[in-house]
């Protein structure tokens, strides 16, 4: 304990109270990321003869603080406890992040326990943002044949994060099939069972943006240290890291550190690791260390189960005949099934109509038409060229190089399939080519699709990308 001179009131300050006051000063001078990476994990453990002892989680942490924040800490300490007080670091390895309140040793006085609880609460409030959406749970995730393995592994991981053979856990599959729902449900489940765990969810796009921001501000090491300090890292849509070499490099290092220290890594992607062309081979090989589970489109029975559960959640009554009509006509993904119910609900409340089969048919028709209206030839061309690694302007030029011809023909084919444009309009978008060229392109692609399975998978991926971009 420290007895402060008169300028710091006559009160006796506990180590916790002093440290909380220090944190207040520190918080004003550093970024939120630096604050939660470097300062929140520090624990005050004692105070005697004007020396405040704090515990740090490891040597690396201590070196970093010494190198970057020494003067800030001195300033904070001075303002919290006066000139006389010095700081002493105790470096502990394998730092335990359990909430304080669960760890009070029995010999502590009640007053001390209360102070510890205040600090624990303060930490809890300031805990890192997990970005998890609480609406994604296991309870409302319908099991079906298409997601059986992924769902079972997800359950095992949430019981024992980092402690199963499913590390990393790599979930892949088409758009709207429940990848985001499932991986966030793992995070939410862990959070409810083990509230002391540091969990972060983010999309790979967000990860890249944060990384570029960190680079620009000379904070790349801090960025990396922040993610390396997590217990569970959930990165969605990892395909967005393709061709982003520098971001991949940092991801690779974060991955290694987390994996080596038994922390759980959960990833999702729109395609299998082997198809992630443009992703560092070293990263892809690490995806094979754990479990890869794909999610397939739901079969008819699962579609019915999902529809009745969602209709029930929305509080609407829908007859079996109607459920079956929707499940027969909307087959590609769960997001669309959900979208159909939302549209029905909107029609219902606006016009207070009853849900009739007629209304459902009209709604289903509207959905498939609006899908076509939203998709344009330009975005199809852009995404197809990106996927095939061909410069977009070349498909509009006269080039006859094999890879350019393929990109051009596939863009034409997809334009025919995904838009309502006429053959003539499509031809015009590709350097004013004739409608017979478009027909030829469609026939060529049809033949390829029938004889080349891996080409077919690529086309499904491209279609998914286009539909996601336009939804």
- Residue 66 CB, shortest distance to ligand ADP, in Å, is 43
- Residue 147 CB, shortest distance to ligand ADP, in Å, is 6
Distance CA 356, CA 353 (A): 8
Q: Are the CB atoms for 15 and 45 separated by under 8 Å?
A: yes
Q: Tell me which of ligand ADP, Mg ion, none is bound by residue 166, counting a contact when its beta carbon lies within the kind-specific cut-off of 5 to 8 angstroms.
A: none
Residue 335 touching ligand ADP (CB under 6 A): yes
Q: Tell me which of Mg ion, ligand ADP, none is bound by residue 443, counting a contact when its beta carbon lies within the kind-specific cut-off of 5 to 8 angstroms.
A: none
Residues within window 160-219 making contact with Mg ion, judged by CB under 5 A: 179-180
Size of residue set near Mg ion by CB under 5 A: 2
Residue 36 touching Mg ion (CB under 5 A): no
- Residue 235 CB, shortest distance to ligand ADP, in Å, is 13
Range in contact with ligand ADP (rule: CB under 6 A) among 19-27, 137-145, 193-201, 256-264: 137-145
Q: Tell me, letter by letter, the H, E, C secondary structure of the chain.
A: CEECCHHHCCCEECHHHHHHHHHHHHHHHCCHHHHHHHHCCCEEEEEECCEEEEEEECHHHHHHHHHHHHHHHHHHHHHHHCCCCEEEEEEECCCCCCCHHHCCCCCCCHHHHHHHHHHHHHHHHHCCCCCCCCCCCCCCCCCCHHHHHHHHHHHHHHHCCCCCCCCCEEEEECCCCCHHHHHHHHHHHHHHHCCCCCEEEEEHHHHHHHHHHHHHCCCHHHHHHHHHCCCEEEEECHHHHCCCHHHHHHHHHHHHHHHHCCCEEEEEECCCHHHCCCCCHHHHHHHCCCEEEEECCCCHHHHHHHHHHHHHHHCCCCCHHHHHHHHHHCCCCHHHHHHHHHHHHHHHHHHCCCCCHHHHHHHHHHHHHHHHHHCCHHHHHHHHHHHHCCCHHHHHCCCCCHHHHHHHHHHHHHHHHHCCCCHHHHHHHCCCCCHHHHHHHHHHHHHHHHHCHHHHHHHHHHHHHHHHHHC
Q: Tell me which of Mg ion, ligand ADP, none is bound by residue 416, counting a contact when its beta carbon lies within the kind-specific cut-off of 5 to 8 angstroms.
A: none
Q: Tell me which of Mg ion, ligand ADP, none is bound by residue 338, counting a contact when its beta carbon lies within the kind-specific cut-off of 5 to 8 angstroms.
A: ligand ADP
- Residue 249 CB, shortest distance to ligand ADP, in Å, is 26
Residue 333 touching Mg ion (CB under 5 A): no
Identify the residue among 61, 181, 197, 259 touching ligand ADP (CB under 6 A).
Answer: 181
Identify the residue among 36, 158, 167, 180 touching ligand ADP (CB under 6 A).
Answer: 180
Identify the residue among 37, 115, 147, 167 touching ligand ADP (CB under 6 A).
Answer: 147
Residue 425 tokens read as 């309009």
Q: How far apart are the first and last CA of the chain?
A: 61
Nearest Cα residue to 363 out of 341, 332, 335:
341
Range in contact with ligand ADP (rule: CB under 6 A) among 64-72, 138-146, 369-377, 393-401: 138-146
Residues within window 283-312 making contact with ligand ADP, judged by CB under 6 A: 306
Give me the half-sphere count of Cα atoms (radius 13 Å) on the Cβ side of residue 128: 29
Identify the residue among 161, 176, 273, 427 touching ligand ADP (CB under 6 A).
Answer: 176
- Residue 151 CB, shortest distance to Mg ion, in Å, is 16
Identify the residue among 47, 142, 258, 406 touching ligand ADP (CB under 6 A).
Answer: 142
Q: Tell me which of ligand ADP, Mg ion, none is bound by residue 375, counting a contact when its beta carbon lies within the kind-specific cut-off of 5 to 8 angstroms.
A: none
Distance CA 413, CA 448 (A): 12
Q: Residue with CB nearest Mg ion? A: 180
Q: Tell me which of Mg ion, ligand ADP, none is bound by residue 306, counting a contact when its beta carbon lies within the kind-specific cut-off of 5 to 8 angstroms.
A: ligand ADP
Nearer to ligand ADP, 181 or 228 (CB): 181
Distance CA 57, CA 241 (A): 31
Identify the residue among 338, 386, 392, 417 touching ligand ADP (CB under 6 A).
Answer: 338
Residue 158 touching Mg ion (CB under 5 A): no
- Residue 121 CB, shortest distance to ligand ADP, in Å, is 32
Residue 141 touching ligand ADP (CB under 6 A): yes
Q: Tell me which of ligand ADP, Mg ion, none is bound by residue 175, counting a contact when its beta carbon lies within the kind-specific cut-off of 5 to 8 angstroms.
A: ligand ADP
Residue 224 tokens read as 């990396």
- Residue 308 CB, shortest distance to ligand ADP, in Å, is 11
Range in contact with ligand ADP (rule: CB under 6 A) among 185-193, 239-247, 332-340, 405-413: 332-340
Distance CA 277, CA 175 (A): 18
Nearer to ligand ADP, 16 or 237 (CB): 237
Size of residue set near ligand ADP by CB under 6 A: 15
Nearer to ligand ADP, 309 or 401 (CB): 309
Nearer to ligand ADP, 140 or 221 (CB): 140
User: What are the residues binding ligand ADP (CB under 6 A)?
Assistant: 140-142, 147, 175-181, 306, 334-335, 338
């Amino acid at each position: 304990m420290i007895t402060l001179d008169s300028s710091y009131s006559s009160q006796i300050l506990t180590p916790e109270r002093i440290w909380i006051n220090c944190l207040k000063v520190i918080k004003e001078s550093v970024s939120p990321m630096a604050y939660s990476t470097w300062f929140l994990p520090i624990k005050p453990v004692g105070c005697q003869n004007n020396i405040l002892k704090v515990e740090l989680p490891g040597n690396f942490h201590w070196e970093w603080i010494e190198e970057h924040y020494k003067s800030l800490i001195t300033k904070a300490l001075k303002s919290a406890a006066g000139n006389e007080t010095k700081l002493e670091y105790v470096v502990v390895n394998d730092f335990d992040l359990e909430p304080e309140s669960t760890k009070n040793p029995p010999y502590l006085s009640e007053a001390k326990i209360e102070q510890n609880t205040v600090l624990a609460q303060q930490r809890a409030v300031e805990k890192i943002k997990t970005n998890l959406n609480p609406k994604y749970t296991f309870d409302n995730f319908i099991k079906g044949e298409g997601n059986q393995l992924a769902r079972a592994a997800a359950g095992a991981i949430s019981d024992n994060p980092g402690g199963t053979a499913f590390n990393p856990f790599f979930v892949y599959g088409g758009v709207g099939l429940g990848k985001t729902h499932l991986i966030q449900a793992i995070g939410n489940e862990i959070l409810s069972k083990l509230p002391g765990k540091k969990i972060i969810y983010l999309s790979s796009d967000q990860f890249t943006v944060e990384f570029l921001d960190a680079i620009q501000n000379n904070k790349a090491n801090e960025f990396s240290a922040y993610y390396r300090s997590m217990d569970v890292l959930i990165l969605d849509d990892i395909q967005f890291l393709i061709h982003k070499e520098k971001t991949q490099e940092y991801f690779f290092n974060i991955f290694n550190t987390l994996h080596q220290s038994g922390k759980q890594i959960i990833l999702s992607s729109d395609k299998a690791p082997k198809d992630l062309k443009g992703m560092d081979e070293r990263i892809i090989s690490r995806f094979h260390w754990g479990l890869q589970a794909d999610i397939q489109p739901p079969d008819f029975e699962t579609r019915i189960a999902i529809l009745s559960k969602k209709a029930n959640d929305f509080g609407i009554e829908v007859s079996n005949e109607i459920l079956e009509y929707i499940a027969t006509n909307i087959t590609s993904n769960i997001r669309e099934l959900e979208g159909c119910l939302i549209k029905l609900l909107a029609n219902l409340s606006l016009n207070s109509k009853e849900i009739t089969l007629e209304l459902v048919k009209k709604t289903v028709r509207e959905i498939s038409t609006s899908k076509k209206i939203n998709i344009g030839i330009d975005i199809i061309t852009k995404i197809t060229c990106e996927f095939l690694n061909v410069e977009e302007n070349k498909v509009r030029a006269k080039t006859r190089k094999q890879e350019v011809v393929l990109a051009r023909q596939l863009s034409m084919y997809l334009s025919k399939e995904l838009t309502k444009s006429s053959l003539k309009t499509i031809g015009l978008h590709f350097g004013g080519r004739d409608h017979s060229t478009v027909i030829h392109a469609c026939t060529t692609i049809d033949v390829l699709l029938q004889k080349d399975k891996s080409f077919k998978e690529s086309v499904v991926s491209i279609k998914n990308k286009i539909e996601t971009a336009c939804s």
